[in-house]
Structure 1
Amino acid sequence: METILSPPLPFTFEEGMLDSSGRLCDNWEKWKKGFKIYFCACELEKKSASIQMNILLHVIGEQCREIIDQSTERINNLDGVFKKLDDHFKIKKNVTVERHKFFTRSQKENESIEQYVLDLKKLAQTCEFGILNEDLIKDRLVCGLHSSTIRERLLREDDLTLNKAMDICRAVIVSRVYSDNIKQEKDMICDISDQSKAAVKMMKLDRPGYRSGEHVRRCRR
C-alpha cells in the first residue's frame, strides 16, 4: 500500500532580483530536502525514471519548469533537473556576503557555547573555506565569545584546535557554576549565622532583669 502524503508546495521566487544574501539558494536547498523526504515517504524510487521526473516537474511549479525548458541539454532524470536548478540558484550566492555574515557573528547574551559553534558551522558551509574551515570556526569562536575571561584563557593556549577550545570553554563554565554555588552556600551560612546571633540577642533581652541596664548593676555588685 502506497503512502499518501501531500507534496511540498511549488518552489517560487521573485524573478529578476539579484539575491546577494544567498537566501534564494537556502530556500531552494530547503525545498529540495522537503521533496526528497516526500520522494522517499511515497516510495517513488519504485517508479520509472520518466514517472519520477514528471512528478518532480509537476510539483516543482511553473517558474522552475521554465528554467528547465531553457536548457540546451537534454534532461531526462531527477539528477539532471536538480543539477540544472542548483546551478541556476547557487550562482546567485555571493560568497563575500556569506563570509561577512560568518566573521561578524558573535555570541549572543545567554547563548550557549554549543549553540554558538553550531551556528558558526552552519554559516561556514556556504563560505567555501576549504581546508581552513575548522580553523576559521575556532578563530571566530575565540573572537566572538561574550566572555572576555574565557577568551583570555583560550588565547593563552598553544596549538588550539576547535575541539580543544570547546573543552576549555565547558571546563571554565562548569568551574564558574561550581564557584557560584559555593558562594551562594557561604552567603546562606552567613545569613543563618546572623539570624542565630540576632535570635540569641533577643533571648537575652527578654530575660528578667536584663532590661533597663539591671544586668550591668548586678555585675558591678
Structure 2
Amino acid sequence: MALLGTIEPFNTGEPLKWKTYMERFQFFITANGITDETKKKAVFLSICGPSTYDIIHSLIAPQAVSDVDLAVITEKLSAHFLCSTVVGRFMFHRRNQKPEENMASYIKELRHLAGDCGFNESILEEMLRDRIVCGVKDENLQRRLLAEQNLTFSKAEELALAHETAMQSVSALRETTVLATHSVNKFQNKQFKQNGKTCFRGENMHAPEDCRFKDAVCNFCKKKGHIERACLSKKRGIRKEQIQKKQTANQKAISAEEEKQVQMVEAESTEAIHPSYDIFVIKDGTEIKDFMVPLKINSKEIKL
C-alpha cells in the first residue's frame, strides 16, 4: 500500500527542529492510518535517516534497536536533541535580527526559540517584546521602540512591521528617482550630441551632471569639478601666452624695419655731405689710352 505524502530524514545539524519533526511524524502516521506500534517503529526507523539511526544506536547501547520500543527511542532522542531551559533561554536572548532577515521571519524565529525556554503565559509576551527591542538591526526603529510608553509585544510587532514596510517604500521610491534622473541625463546627453556641445568638465559630448569627472581635481588649477584638458584657467593662460608671443614678434619686426630705415637715412645723409662726381662718361665706346696725372701731396709729386 502506497503511503500518503513524504517526510524527509531528520537533519541532526539542526537539533532545535526535533520537536517540529516529531509533530510532522505523528501527522504522517495518522494520515496513513498506521496504528500498530511495531509498524510505527519500523516506519520511523526507515525515514529518520542514517545519522539519526547511528545516534539511536549509541543512546540505547548495549541494547539492540529491535528490542526497544518506539516510545523509549523518541524519549532518548528528545533528551539528546532538545536543550535544557537554561540553554534555550541563552539562545533566545542571544538571537538578534540578521542583516538580510525581514521582521516577520525574525519574530517567527523568536516565537520558535521561546518554546524551549519554559516561559509561562504571563511573561512570554514580555520576553518577546524585550527581544524585539534589543535585537532589531535598525537603530532608528530601536530608538522609536524605546521611546514608546507602555510598550507591549503587540505594539512592538506592529511598529516594527510598519517601519520595515515604510523603509521598503522609501527605498523603492529612491530607485524610481534614480531611474528618472538617469533618463533625464540620457536625454540631455543626446541633446548635447545633437547640438555639438561639449561638457565643460572633460570636453566630452554629454551633460555636465552626468560627467564622470564631476568630482575630479584639476592637475593645473587644483580646483574640483573638471580635468586639466578642460581647464579654463589653463586655456586662458595659453591664449595670453600666444598673444604675448605674437606681440613680441611684431615688436621685433617693427624694430628691424625701423633699424633698416635709420640705416637708409644715415646713408642718404652721408651722400649729401660727401657727394661724388663722375670725371667722365664714356658713351660712344671709343678706346681711351692710359694717361698719367701729376699731383703734389705734402710737397711731394705723385703721378696717377
Q: Normalising to structure 2: TM-score of the pair?
A: 0.46
Question: Could you tell me which amino acid in structure 2 is paired with residue 111 of structure 1?
Answer: E
What is the 5 A alignment of 1:200-215?
200-205=191-196
Moved more, 108-117 or 186-195: 186-195
**Cα distance in 2 for residues equivalent to 1:7 and 1:171:** 38
Question: Could you tell me which amino acid in structure 2 is paired with residue 42 of structure 1?
Answer: N
Write out per-residue CA displacement over residues 152-204 of structure 1, whole angstroms, 9 at most, x where no aligned residue.
Answer: 12212222222322222222222222222333333333334344444444444
**Equivalent position to 2:131, from 131, 140, 148:** 140
**Equivalent position to 2:141, from 137, 141, 150:** 150
Gaps of 5+ in 2: 46-55, 198-304
* Counterpart residue number, 2:151: 160
* Counterpart residue number, 1:71: none
Secondary structure, in 3 states, of the residue corresponding to 1:44? coil
Question: Could you tell me which amino acid in structure 1 is paired with residue 143 of structure 2?
Answer: E
8 A contact 2:104–2:161 mirrored in 1: no
Give me the identity figure in percent: 19
Q: Does 1:106 align with 2:96?
A: yes
Q: Normalising to structure 1: TM-score of the pair?
A: 0.60
Computed over aligned residues only, the root mean square deviation of the Cα atoms, in angstroms, reads: 4.2
**Cα distance in 2 for residues equivalent to 1:201 and 1:4:** 72
**Cα distance in 2 for residues equivalent to 1:191 and 1:7:** 51
Q: Does 1:171 align with 2:156?
A: no
Q: How far did 1:30 drift?
A: 5.2
1:193–1:140 distance in 2 versus 1, CA, 3 Å = same
Question: How many residues are aligned here?
Answer: 179
* Counterpart residue number, 2:298: none
**Cα distance in 2 for residues equivalent to 1:36 and 1:135:** 32
Q: Does 1:44 align with 2:34?
A: yes
1:183–1:138 distance in 2 versus 1, CA, 3 Å = same
**Cα distance in 2 for residues equivalent to 1:118 and 1:110:** 15
**Cα distance in 1 for residues equivalent to 2:177 and 2:6:** 61
Question: Could you tell me which amino acid in structure 2 is paired with residue 193 of structure 1?
Answer: V
Question: Could you tell me which amino acid in structure 2 is paired with residue 39 of structure 1?
Answer: I
**Cα distance in 2 for residues equivalent to 1:7 and 1:204:** 69
Secondary structure, in 3 states, of the residue corresponding to 2:117? coil
1:198–1:116 distance in 2 versus 1, CA, 3 Å = same
**Cα distance in 2 for residues equivalent to 1:133 and 1:6:** 35
8 A contact 1:8–1:59 mirrored in 2: no
Higher helix share: 1
**Cα distance in 2 for residues equivalent to 1:191 and 1:58:** 65
Gaps of 5+ in 1: 14-21, 46-51, 68-74, 76-80, 207-221
1:196–1:88 distance in 2 versus 1, CA, 3 Å = closer
